[in-house]
Structure 1
Amino acid sequence: MKLRIKTLLVVASMLLAPVIALAAQTQEFTLKNGMKVIVNEDHRAPTVAHMIWYRIGSVDERNGTTGTAHALEHMMFKGTKTLKPGEFSRRVAQMGGRENAFTSKDYTAYFQQIEKSHLEAVMALEADRMANLVFNKDEFGREIRVIMEERRLRTDDQPQAMLYEALMATAYAAHPYRNPIIGWMDDLENMTVEDVKDWHDHWYAPNNATMVVSGDVDPRQVHRLAEKYFGKLQPKTLTRTRPQNEPEQKGIKRVTVKAPAENPYVMLAFKVPALRDADKDEEPLALDVLAAVLDGYDNARLGARLVRTDRVANEVGASYSGVARGPVQFILDGTPAAGTTTEQLEGYLRGEVARIAKEGVSESELKRVKTQLIASQIYKRDSVFGQAMEIGVMEMSGHSWRDIDRLIARLRDVTPQQVQAVAQKYFGDDALTIGTLVPLPMTEQSKPAAAPALSGPLH
């Protein structure tokens, strides 16, 4: 299956569809210990999404400790002073709910989807493991082996995932985004239970957490319950790591990965601006739209020309996510068709951006693209969980949930001239990293299986 380089959320399209105006139904308050609570009312069904977001992810790790944030996510299900290993999940299941967790470069989040009468119970569970997690050496030993197997199945045995990992490690010389969220295998092999405990003790605090509650709730009740279960927890002194800013790139970088695979594959990563100021930044919004023009709907430019018309590629894509704590990339990727080399496909992908840089996009095409993107968001905004995800990602990336509606309005105002301008400015050689997958012969043992859904937390 083709690896599409998008985040857990496709933030570019996340900003588009105002099916429900969040500002009209959302309230925010902060507990005395610094914990932020955001309540999004949606009374269409008697369900609630309850999420705890910690503003700590793999970006905060140091060399030699990669994978710690994700390893702690796993350990959060392994028991507290009052709960046995696995009991958290069993209790949520007994409520008829579902729960899980995920780690990203910028944050770690835990969630439960439940019938509204169980909100107090899951709040109590989350507060308990924020403050009272138990770190058992044997449990950690078992879980780190699960994580290493997860890495083998989802990265080491997946050629395109291996290429993406190598691409990021090459594109970034200094910034921690060069490291995989799950961690390098050597770091996992040398990780100790003390490493994970130190991470929890330092970063899992109310003043580094945001609670998002979305669904059929009364904000006053949520406030009362948050005070009851989290208000008594003490804040901690948070010392952020040094920024490790990325030095300026001054020429094309290349990396090649050889692995058993059915087809070659190529990825082009261009360093482009991230969204920093929701009121003023224009280029990130234009890059959002450029990605949609290239690959935002069924008849977008890359697929229409390179796959269906010219038949030089079997699959192609473009992606950009400007909402992040660190630097971001605009990715073009594709699998060449028979008779086309990866080098030729590089030229074809860049040629489509160059065409926009030279000729621009018409008002009618831009309108069509925006209509498609808005339509694609209807089902997500119809979900209380989807709304909670929107809020959480924005908050963890250094923005406010209030920016979501504002960005929707600003994105609708992006002009053809702005799209053409970013196509002209950011797609030269000096900020480009190219990754190429060279397929090796495959045996039955080397065929990459579809990455399974492992038991335990997501990442």
Structure 2
Amino acid sequence: MKRPLAGLALGFMLQPLMALASSQPSTHHFTLDNGLKVIVHEDHRAAVVHSQLWYRVGSNYEPSGQSGLSHALEHMVFKGSSKLCPAESDHIFQSLGATDNAATQNDATVFFQTLPPHALAVALEVMADQMSTAHLSAAHWEGEREVIKSERSESIDNDPHQRALELPRRLAFPSSAAGSPVIGWMHDLDRMHIDELKDWYQRWYAPNNATLVIVGDIDAEQVKTLATRYFGPIARRKLPAIKRPIELTAPGERIITQYMAHQIPSLSMAFNVPSLTTQTDPRQAPALELLSELLGGGDSSELKSRLWRGEELLISVGTHYNGISRGDELFSIVATLNLENLKPLDEVQARIWAVIESLKHAPPTRSDLERARTRIIAQQVFTRDDLQSLALYLGELDIAGLSPAQDEERMQILKAITPQDIQHAARTFLTRDRLTISHVLPKETRHE
């Protein structure tokens, strides 16, 4: 009798979560005459506003030999413009009780602030000036290049975990720039010239290549007036032709072994898979999302219950898949071995394969699937309730070429995914000809 009661309880939990997840936020969309897209979500619960300016350019856009251009340009935009001295925007926002920052991703560069509503006009004026009149001087670039190289050394080269993931990602994307690090390869940073940055700025920093996202205690008409005042005079520009980063469907199994000092043995397995924008069947990405949660999401997931708590082969294991992407994606499994029950990496990898194969031969139980579905829907609800997370969500959707309505369709499909859909996704996508394997071992175990 326990299983029916558990299923009944899950049903009661899902009903309010699904109802909340299906309710669309009251979000306003408009586009200026110069092509700048604006998304405004009004929420008057607290006197705070999150403003974000998204440019459709990131590391996936960069040609060979010029990795890191988008991230370097993000740094240089803060080095002065017609109205601002270098780093002056930081001081302005601090004086207003606000914070500002920026980040570069594979498909986007985003500048963002958290500020009181009365300061929004200042944020828009600053970002409009940076969009149109950034100085990009050679003298500032020479110093900022060293800052970026130091950032790369600290965040990747001196971080065994991050360094272990960098080369396998390059192998996993053999036919596109998606495998290049966002911060760039060190040798590309060494030879990057200010003229390349100026050219990149002229290509991509245009109003018709950007989306302004405003979330919080603000009126949509007020945002429209301010956006028109500060961004409206900036002329649209002809943009380069862009294509989605599409990967080889089945590049063949690839494997790399890396040796790193004082590193606990670990392994990763990354499969080339489609995203919401590249799937050929609308059930593929939602099924992969649920498959990721079933395999390595919560503590009751297959890999964690069997290999972490059960056999105690691992001290950590997790999966990752994000279907909200402009191009093809990776379905990743990352595991760190337990030194107190140390087994060869090949043996642990075989055990992970056994768990995957079990889902191919027998679909998950409905109760396991419902638990995974509940966790995903709950996370969606929490994301949309936090204003900053909601702003990021709206921006990421737009960058991927998706709308909230399309994402709601994804959620409706996710609710209808069956155990057989999960089994089909595992059989179709978790295959050796889509796989990149990385083994990481302590440097002292290497035999020259």
- TM-score of the superposed pair, with normalisation by structure 2: 0.91
Amino acid aligned to 2:439? T
Post-superposition offset of 1:248: 4.6
Which residue of structure 2 lines up, in the alignment, with residue 141 of structure 1? Answer: 142
Post-superposition Cα deviations, 1:359-409, rounded to whole Å, max 9, x if no partner, equal 211111111122223334454322211111110001001212332333222
Moved more, 53-62 or 160-169: 160-169
Deviations 1:87-143 (A, max 9, x none): 011111111111111111111101111111111111111111101111122211111
> What corresponds to 1:417 in structure 2?
420
With over 3 angstroms needed to count, the CA separation of the structure-2 counterparts of 1:235 and 1:185, relative to structure 1, is: same
Report the CA distance shift for 1:280/1:424 in structure 2 as closer, same or farther (over 3 A).
closer
Q: Give runs of aligned pairs for residues 260-279 of structure 1, distance below 5 A.
A: 260-276=261-277
**Matched letter for residue 310 of structure 1:** E
Q: Tell me the secondary structure at the aligned position of residue 321 of structure 1.
A: coil
> Match of 2:363?
360
Q: Residue 434 and residue 409 in structure 1: after superposition, are their counterparts in 2 closer, same or farther (change >3 A)?
A: same
1:3-82 correspondence runs (5 A): 19=20, 23-82=24-83
Instruction: Give the distance between the partners of 1:17 and 1:203, measured in 2 at CA.
Output: 39
Q: Partners in 2 of 1:287 and 1:244 — Cα distance? A: 19
Q: Does 1:325 align with 2:318?
A: no
Q: CA deviation at 1:343?
A: 1.0
SS in 2 for 1:412: helix
1:386 maps to 2:389? yes
Q: Which residue in 1 is equivalent to 2:226?
A: 225
Instruction: Please give the secondary structure, in 1, of the residue aligned with 2:149.
Output: helix
Query: Distance in 1 between the 2:350 and 2:397 partners?
Result: 35
Match of 1:446 in 2: none
CA contact (8 A) 1:278 1:403 kept: no
Cα distance, 1:346 vs structure 2: 1.2
Aligned to 1:10: none
Taking the aligned partners of 1:44 and 1:20, their CA distance within structure 2 comes to: 19
CA positional deviation for 1:234: 0.2
Amino acid of the structure 2 residue aligned with 1:48: V
The residue type paired with residue 386 of structure 2 is S
Shift of 1:441: 3.7
Indicate the residue corresponding to 1:315 in structure 2: 316
Take 1:145 and 1:301, find their aligned partners in 2: how far apart are those partners? 45
Which residue is 2:196 aligned to? 195
Between the aligned partners of 1:21 and 1:143, the Cα distance in structure 2 is 46
Name the stretch that deviates more: 87-96 or 270-279.
270-279
Deviating more after overlay: 17-26 vs 177-186 = 17-26
Q: Residues 426 and 280 from structure 1, CA distance in 2 versus in 1: closer, same or farther, beyond 3 angstroms?
A: closer
Contact 1:294–1:302 (CA under 8 A) maintained in structure 2: yes
Distance of 2:382 and 2:243 partners within structure 1: 40
Q: Is the contact between residue 313 and residue 340 of structure 1 (CA under 8 Å) also seen in structure 2?
A: no
Q: Which runs of 5+ in 2 are unaligned?
A: 1-16
The amino acid across from 2:105 in the alignment is S
Alignment correspondent of 2:213: 212
Q: Secondary structure at the match of 2:401?
A: coil
Q: 1:388 to 1:18 in 2, by over 3 A?
A: farther
Counterpart residue type for residue 375 of structure 1: A
Separation in structure 2 between the aligned mates of residue 120 and residue 18 of structure 1, nearest angstrom: 36
| Aligned-pair CA distance for 1:302 | 1.1
- The answer to whether the 8 A contact 2:274-2:327 is kept is no
The residue correspondences of 1:54-453 to structure 2 (distance < 5 A) are 54-241=55-242, 245-276=246-277, 281-338=282-339, 339-441=342-444
Q: Taking structure 1 as reference, are residues 294 and 246 closer, same or farther at Cα in structure 2, changes over 3 Å only?
A: closer
Question: Per the alignment, do residues 419 and 300 of structure 1 end up closer, same or farther by CA in structure 2, a change over 3 Å counting?
Answer: same
Two-structure CA RMSD over aligned residues (Å): 2.0
After superposing the two structures, state which structure 1 stretch, 278-287 or 261-270, moved more: 278-287
Give the aligned residue type for 1:302: L
User: Per chain length, whose mean CA-contact separation is higher, i.e. which structure has more relative contact order (CA < 8 Å, sep 6+)?
Assistant: 1
State the secondary structure of the residue aligned to 1:66: coil
1:364–1:292 CA distance, 2 compared to 1 (3 A) = same
Structure 2 CA distance, aligned partners of 1:23 and 1:280? 24
| More helix by percentage | 2
SS of the equivalent of 2:112 reads strand
Q: Could you tell me how far apart the structure 2 residues matched to 1:390 and 1:84 are?
A: 32
Structure 2 SS opposite 1:430: helix
- The percentage of counterpart residues that share the same residue type is 33
d(CA) in 2 for partners of 1:170 and 1:299? 31
CA distance in 2, matches of 1:315, 1:17: 31
Q: Which residue of 2 aligns with 1:448?
A: none
List per-residue Cα deviations over 1:305-347 (Å, max 9, x = no partner).
Answer: 1011111111111111122122211111111223211111211
CA 1:328 to 1:243, structure 2 compared with 1: closer, same or farther past 3 Å?
closer
CA contact (8 A) 2:166 2:181 kept: yes
Deviation at 1:40, TM superposition (A): 0.8
Do 1:50 and 1:213's aligned partners in 2 also have CA atoms closer than 8 Å?
yes
Change beyond 3 A, Cα 1:81–1:401? same
1:209-261 CA distances to partner (integer Å, 9 max, x unpaired)?
Answer: 00011111111111111111111110011013566753453531111212213
Partner-residue secondary structure (3-state), 2:330: strand
For residue 7 of structure 2, what is the aligned residue in structure 1?
Answer: none
Contact kept, 8 Å, 2:278 with 2:327, in 1: the verdict is: no
How far, CA to CA, are the matches of 1:407 and 1:245 in structure 2? 21
Structure 1 length normalisation: TM-score? 0.89
Is the 1:278–1:407 contact (alpha carbons within 8 Å) kept by the matching residues of 2?
no
Could you tell me whether the CA contact under 8 Å between 1:334 and 1:345 is conserved in 2? no
